[in-house]
Amino acid sequence: MSTARMQQPDTPAAAPVSPSPAPASPGIEVRGVSKSYRRGQRVLSDVNLHIRAGESFGIIGPNGAGKTTLFGCMLGLLWPDSGSVSVAGLPPDHLEVRRLTGYLPERLTFEPSLSARQFLAYHHALAERPRPQRAQEVEALLTQVGLDRAVWDRDTRKFSRGMVQRLGLAQALVGQPRFLFLDEPTLGLDPEGVLHLRAQLREIKARGVTLIINSHDLAQLERVCDRVAFFRAGRVEAIEDLGSPTATVTRHVLVVRWAGANPLSAEQLAAVATEAGVTLMDNAEDALRFSVEDDWGASRLLGALLKAGLPVASASREEGRLERFFQRNGARTP
Residue type, 131: R
User: Residues 221-245: pLDDT tens digits?
Assistant: 877 888 999 888 888 888 888 765 4
CA–CA distance, 236 with 222 (Å, rounded to integer): 18
User: Residues 55-71: pLDDT tens digits?
Assistant: 999 998 888 888 999 99
Q: Decide which of 188, 209, 241 is a domain's last residue.
A: 241
pLDDT at 254: 83
The pTM of this model reads: 0.69
Does residue 57 fall inside a structural domain? Answer: yes
CA–CA distance, 181 with 177 (Å, rounded to integer): 10
77-101 mean pLDDT: 93
CATH number at residue 272: 3.30.70.980
Provide the residue range defining the domain that includes 267: 252-322
Instruction: Work out the number of other CB atoms within 10 angstroms of the CB of residue 285.
Output: 5
Quote the strand ranges of the chain, DSSP E.
28-36, 42-51, 56-60, 82-87, 101-104, 179-183, 210-214, 227-232, 235-241, 252-258, 279-283, 288-292, 312-317
pLDDT at 7: 39
Lowest mean pLDDT of 73-82, 146-155, 218-227, 271-280, name the range. 218-227
Which among 134, 100, 209, 120 is positioned nearest to 171, based on CA atoms? Answer: 120
- Name the range with the highest mean pLDDT among 111-115, 251-255, 307-311: 307-311
- Mean pLDDT over the full length of the chain: 83
Residue 87 forms beta bridges with which residues?
28, 90
pLDDT band of residue 328 (cuts 50, 70, 90) is low
248-265 mean pLDDT: 77
Do 120 and 174 meet the contact criterion of CB atoms below 8 Å apart? yes
CATH number at residue 18: 3.40.50.300
Q: Which residues contact 26 (CB under 8 A, 6 or more apart)?
A: 53, 86, 88, 89
pLDDT at 331: 47
